[in-house]
């Protein structure tokens, strides 16, 4: 069913009313969404607060049991009561963390549930690993790997919590806390592995490398925290780094690191290891002090993250209420103002319509006609003045004015671009010409000094390639509107000119020169005439069978001298032949797009060269089914020779032996 066409005023009112109602509904929905988000952020903060203490207790408990276990397996003296207490502490920590794990799994993503399940599964194997430790069937490496799984599970849960943070500031704070936790775990692992290095024992190469990596990691990370942007966090880390305990650890760790690098066989094994700079109890007290400091820093970072989450939740709630109220107010005002604005907009649209129609129908066509005629517009044209205010209607008016100026500017820019491209082509071609001219001089010198026929033939082929390259460079110059560098002061015989032109082609051996008038071409036109004829001969050879001849003949006519170039190819369709003749007679402007669409680029060059000297070039069907190019040199370019015979070069003369006798530029 077709709806009735509505006027602009009615549509404007509808445009104002529909969004207003949608805005009111969106405000209600957005308010509810933001309030729900604030509630979830507050719940997240509460669960985080509930999980910090049991998480810290679990980390410290597993670190204590891991250290005592590894020290015992390494042969150090460990109080069994301390180990029993550490195990009980870890079991208690696992039980206390279970409710927090369950709640986090409920409110978090699936990854949180996977992390808590993995942690719970590891905890179930505690009794088995402890039995193996007590029985002496568990190695240091196996115990170290098992006890590392529990902190790894905690860190996986921390990473998931970080991804579910309610805002970016909280996520950043949690990332900083995670760095502290990783540093704490690295230090604890290193301290646990150090037991095997106390009494002359050795770690496996893998664990030795692990020890060095852990020490380097936690010291580097704590050093980075000292330079952290968070000044409070940096101050705590700075105090820790400057403490005596940190310094004492720094004196012990290089000694232990050296022991990991000591050889396991040979005489070096029997030498006494370097003694520790402090006693083992003092070292352990220092490690406990640093561990406690890092744990306090981690807990402080988590507390700050919770504070930020609560603040974000409160701000979200406040913003949601203000946003909902603002949307309702805006919706009401939009409905009240819509009618007045509709009338004003209608009046302004009518004025804009009349002004733009006048501009499009009169002013813009007149300007474009001036540009098409090549008139200089002087300074850059300014956009027409269409003052309709600063709102959307005014912007439409200014956009139309800019479109007018852009159309004129684009036409001028296109002209400048064409001139720039021509200049680039000429510069490149001239550089190529310099190289080719130098190459030809060297080849001439080499030919003059060489008597070996085989080498002379090679020099000749190189000379021929250089001549063709020179013609390619001259093509660029001609297309760009320039003049090639070759020039002649004196007239040149038509026969020598034709031979030189044929010698510059690829298949010069297929060219057969018939009878030509004994005339001379004025020096100013020689270079362009050679270039013009070589392009036509090249086309004839390219578009005809390789075993066929290309014939060149000439005769004197009333308007000058005619040179005909005939091939024995398949010819050209009538429409293509007509387009070719139009191209040859019109001397088209240089256009890259047009060149790319036409496979016979030589015709463009021929057209330019012919127009420069009023030479007429036409294409027609030859008697052999191919194409005949008819070139008419006007009488003003011709000078008669002194020979009594009006023609030279009898029929069937080819260039296989004497094509090297080309006119030289002066």
CATH code, 622: 3.30.565.10
DSSP tag of 554: E
| Residue ending a domain, choose from 281, 305, 329 | 305
Q: Is residue 353's pLDDT more than 80?
A: no
Helices (H), 242-279: 244-260, 267-270
Phi, psi of 25 (to 5 degrees): -65, -40
Phi, psi of 531 (to 5 degrees): -60, -45
Top mean pLDDT of 99-103, 208-212, 560-564 is at 560-564
- Edge-to-edge strand order for the sheet containing 560-566? 616-621, 627-634, 560-566, 550-557, 511-513, 653-654
Q: What does the pLDDT look like over 103-130, one tens digit per residue? A: 655 555 555 556 566 666 777 778 888 8
Distances (CA, A) of 521 to 242, 524, 558: 98, 8, 16
DSSP tag of 648: E
For tokens 């080309």, what's the residue?
662
SS (H, E, C) 450-485: CCCHHHHHHHHHHHHHHHHHHHHHHHHHHHCCCCCC
> Do 641 and 493 contact (CB within 8 A), yes or no?
yes
Whether residue 54 lies inside any domain: the answer is: yes
Whether residue 589 lies inside any domain: the answer is: yes
Top mean pLDDT of 174-178, 184-188, 466-470 is at 184-188
| 391 lies in the same domain as 286 | no
pLDDT band at 271 (very low <50, low <70, confident <90, very high): low
| 439 lies in the same domain as 495 | no
Whether residue 60 lies inside any domain: the answer is: yes
Whether residue 183 lies inside any domain: the answer is: yes
Whether residue 404 lies inside any domain: the answer is: yes
pLDDT band at 304 (very low <50, low <70, confident <90, very high): confident
| 107 lies in the same domain as 204 | yes
Q: What does the pLDDT look like over 49-89, one tens digit per residue? A: 666 777 878 888 888 888 888 888 877 777 888 888 988 88
DSSP-derived secondary structure for 500-517: HHHHTSTTGGGEEE--EE
Q: In 3D, which of 87, 85, 112 has the Cα closest to residue 100? A: 112
Q: Is residue 558's pLDDT more than 50?
A: yes
Angle, alpha carbons 265-270-273 (nearest 5°): 105
Query: Residue 186: how many CA atoms within 13 Å on its side-chain side?
Result: 19
Q: How far apart are CA 140 and CA 491, in angstroms?
A: 103
Residue 646's pLDDT is 45
| Residue ending a domain, choose from 465, 485, 505 | 485
> Do 471 and 504 contact (CB within 8 A), yes or no?
yes
Top mean pLDDT of 2-16, 85-99, 102-116, 581-595 is at 85-99
Residue 528's pLDDT is 86
Whether residue 342 lies inside any domain: the answer is: no
| 391 lies in the same domain as 533 | no
Please give the residue range of the domain that contains residue 383: 376-485
Q: How far apart are CA 178 and CA 514, in angstroms?
A: 94
Q: What does the pLDDT look like over 277-296, one tens digit per residue? A: 888 888 888 888 888 888 88
Cα 162 to chain centroid, rounded:
32
Pairing of strands 550-557, 511-513: parallel
Q: How far apart are CA 305 and CA 302, in angstroms?
A: 5
Structure token pair of residue 656: 């296989």
> Average pLDDT, stretch 145-160?
78
Percent of the chain whose pLDDT exceeds 90? 8
Whether residue 595 lies inside any domain: the answer is: yes
- Residue 637, classified by CB atoms within 10 Å of its CB into exposed (0-12), middle (13-18) or buried (19+), is buried
- CB burial string 180-205: b at 16+ within 10 A, e below: bbbbbbbbbbbbbbbbbbbeeeebee
> Do 224 and 274 contact (CB within 8 A), yes or no?
no
pLDDT band at 555 (very low <50, low <70, confident <90, very high): very high
Top mean pLDDT of 217-226, 335-344, 404-413, 419-428 is at 217-226
Phi, psi of 3 (to 5 degrees): -85, 150
Q: Is residue 263's pLDDT more than 70?
A: no
Least confident of 160-164, 341-345, 411-415, 600-604: 411-415
Distances (CA, A) of 371 to 176, 376, 588: 66, 7, 19
**Which run of H or of E encompasses 18?**
helix 8-73
Q: How far apart are CA 364 and CA 408, in angstroms?
A: 9
Least confident of 103-117, 127-141, 609-623: 103-117
Residue 493's pLDDT is 93
> Do 251 and 283 contact (CB within 8 A), yes or no?
no
> Average pLDDT, stretch 213-242?
82
> Average pLDDT, stretch 143-153?
82
Least confident of 407-421, 444-458, 610-624: 407-421
How many other CB atoms are there within 10 angstroms of residue 566's CB atom? 24
Helices 140-163 and 168-193: crossing angle in degrees, nearest 10, is 170
Angle, alpha carbons 69-74-78 (nearest 5°): 55
pLDDT band at 557 (very low <50, low <70, confident <90, very high): very high
> Average pLDDT, stretch 634-657?
60
Residue 262's pLDDT is 58
SS (H, E, C) 591-605: CHHHHHHCCCHHHHH
Helices (H), 74-125: 80-107, 110-124
How confident is the prediction for the chain on average, in pLDDT?
75
Q: How far apart are CA 313 and CA 315, in angstroms?
A: 5
Q: How far apart are CA 182 and CA 297, in angstroms?
A: 12
Q: Is residue 519's pLDDT more than 50?
A: yes
| 423 lies in the same domain as 442 | yes
DSSP-derived secondary structure for 306-370: HHHHHHHHHHHHHHHHHHHHHHHHHHHHHHHHHHHHHHHHHHHHHHHHHHHHHIIIIIHHHHHHH
pLDDT band at 663 (very low <50, low <70, confident <90, very high): very low
Cβ neighbours for 123, distance < 8 A, ≥ 6 positions apart:
94, 150
Distances (CA, A) of 342 to 276, 353, 597: 89, 16, 53
Residue 235's pLDDT is 84
| 468 lies in the same domain as 533 | no
- Edge-to-edge strand order for the sheet containing 638-640? 492-493, 519-521, 638-640
- Residue 473, classified by CB atoms within 10 Å of its CB into exposed (0-12), middle (13-18) or buried (19+), is buried
How many domains are there within the chain?
3
pLDDT band at 268 (very low <50, low <70, confident <90, very high): very low
| Residue ending a domain, choose from 248, 279, 305 | 305
| 226 lies in the same domain as 299 | yes
Q: Is residue 652's pLDDT more than 60?
A: no
DSSP tag of 375: -
By three-state DSSP, how is residue 92 classified?
Answer: helix
For tokens 């047009």, what's the residue?
594
> Average pLDDT, stretch 464-477?
67
pLDDT band at 617 (very low <50, low <70, confident <90, very high): very high
Q: Is residue 422's pLDDT more than 80?
A: no
Residue 58's pLDDT is 80
| 526 lies in the same domain as 478 | no
pLDDT band at 513 (very low <50, low <70, confident <90, very high): very high
Residue 665's pLDDT is 39
| 103 lies in the same domain as 214 | yes
Q: Is residue 661's pLDDT more than 50?
A: no
| 116 lies in the same domain as 199 | yes
Residue 332's pLDDT is 74
pLDDT band at 433 (very low <50, low <70, confident <90, very high): low
pLDDT band at 612 (very low <50, low <70, confident <90, very high): confident
Residue 95's pLDDT is 81
Whether residue 22 lies inside any domain: the answer is: no
Q: Is residue 420's pLDDT more than 80?
A: no
| 481 lies in the same domain as 498 | no
| 117 lies in the same domain as 207 | yes
Least confident of 315-329, 438-452, 502-516, 635-649: 635-649
Pairing of strands 653-654, 560-566: unpaired
Cβ neighbours for 312, distance < 8 A, ≥ 6 positions apart:
41, 166, 167, 169, 170
Angle, alpha carbons 555-561-562 (nearest 5°): 65
458 or 50: whose pLDDT is higher?
458
């Amino acid at each position: 069913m077709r709806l009735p066409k509505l006027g602009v005023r009615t549509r404007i009112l509808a445009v104002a009313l529909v969004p207003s109602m949608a805005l009111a509904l969106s405000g209600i929905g957005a308010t509810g969404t933001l309030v729900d988000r604030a509630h979830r952020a507050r719940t997240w903060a509460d669960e985080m607060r509930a999980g910090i203490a049991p998480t810290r207790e679990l980390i410290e408990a597993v670190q204590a049991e891991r250290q005592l276990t590894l020290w015992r397996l390494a042969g150090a003296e460990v109080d069994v009561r301390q180990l029993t207490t550490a195990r009980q502490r870890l079991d208690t920590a696992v039980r206390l963390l279970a409710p927090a794990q369950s709640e986090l799994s409920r409110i978090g993503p699936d990854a949180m549930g996977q992390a808590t399940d993995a942690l719970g599964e590891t905890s179930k194997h505690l009794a088995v690993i402890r039995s193996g430790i007590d029985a002496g069937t568990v190695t240091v490496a196996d115990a170290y790997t098992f006890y590392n799984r529990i902190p790894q599970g905690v860190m996986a849960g921390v990473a998931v919590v970080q991804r579910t943070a309610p805002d970016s500031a909280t996520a950043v704070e949690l990332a900083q806390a995670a760095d502290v936790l990783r540093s704490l775990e690295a230090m604890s692992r290193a301290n646990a592995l150090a037991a095997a290095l106390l009494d002359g024992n050795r770690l496996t190469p893998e664990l030795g490398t692990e020890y060095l990596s852990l020490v380097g990691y936690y010291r580097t990370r704590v050093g980075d925290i000292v330079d952290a942007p968070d000044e409070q966090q940096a101050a705590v880390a700075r105090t820790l780094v400057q403490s005596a305990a940190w310094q004492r650890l720094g004196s012990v760790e290089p000694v232990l690191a050296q022991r990991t690098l000591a050889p396991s066989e040979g005489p070096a094994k029997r030498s006494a290891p370097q003694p520790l700079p402090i006693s083992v109890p003092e070292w352990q007290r220092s490690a406990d002090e640093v561990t406690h400091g890092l744990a306090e820093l981690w807990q402080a970072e988590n507390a700050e993250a919770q504070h930020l989450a609560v603040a974000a939740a409160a701000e979200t709630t406040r913003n949601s209420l203000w946003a909902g109220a603002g949307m309702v107010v805006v919706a009401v005002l939009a409905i009240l103002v819509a009618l007045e604005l509709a009338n004003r907009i209608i009046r302004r649209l009518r004025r804009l319509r009349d002004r733009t129609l006048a501009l499009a129908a009169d002013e813009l066509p007149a300007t474009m006609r001036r540009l098409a005629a090549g008139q200089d517009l002087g300074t850059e044209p300014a956009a027409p003045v269409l003052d309709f205010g600063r709102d959307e209607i005014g912007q439409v008016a200014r956009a139309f004015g800019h479109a007018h100026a852009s159309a004129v500017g684009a036409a001028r820019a296109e002209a400048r671009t064409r001139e720039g491209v021509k200049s680039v082509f000429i510069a490149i071609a001239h550089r190529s010409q310099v190289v080719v001219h130098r190459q030809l001089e060297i080849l001439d010198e080499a030919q003059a000094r060489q008597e070996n026929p085989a080498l002379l033939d090679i020099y000749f082929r190189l000379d021929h390639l250089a001549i063709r390259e020179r013609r390619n460079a001259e093509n660029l110059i001609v297309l760009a509107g320039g003049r090639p560098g070759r020039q002649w002061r004196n007239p040149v015989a038509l026969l020598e000119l034709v031979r030189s032109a044929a010698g510059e082609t690829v298949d010069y051996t297929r060219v057969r020169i018939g009878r030509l008038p004994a005339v001379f071409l004025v020096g100013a036109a020689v270079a362009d005439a050679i270039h013009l004829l070589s392009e036509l001969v090249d086309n004839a050879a390219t578009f005809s069978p390789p075993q066929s001849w290309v014939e060149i003949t000439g005769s004197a006519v009333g308007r000058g001298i005619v040179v005909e170039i005939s091939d024995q190819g398949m010819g050209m369709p009538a429409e293509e032949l007509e387009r070719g003749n139009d191209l040859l007679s019109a001397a088209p402007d240089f256009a890259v797009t047009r060149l790319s669409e036409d496979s016979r680029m030589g015709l463009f060059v021929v057209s330019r060269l012919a127009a420069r000297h009023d030479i007429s070039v036409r294409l027609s069907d030859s008697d052999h089914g191919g194409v005949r190019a008819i070139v008419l040199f006007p009488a003003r370019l011709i000078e008669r020779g002194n020979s009594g015979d009006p023609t030279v070069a009898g029929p069937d003369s080819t260039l296989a032996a004497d094509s090297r006798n080309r006119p030289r530029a002066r």
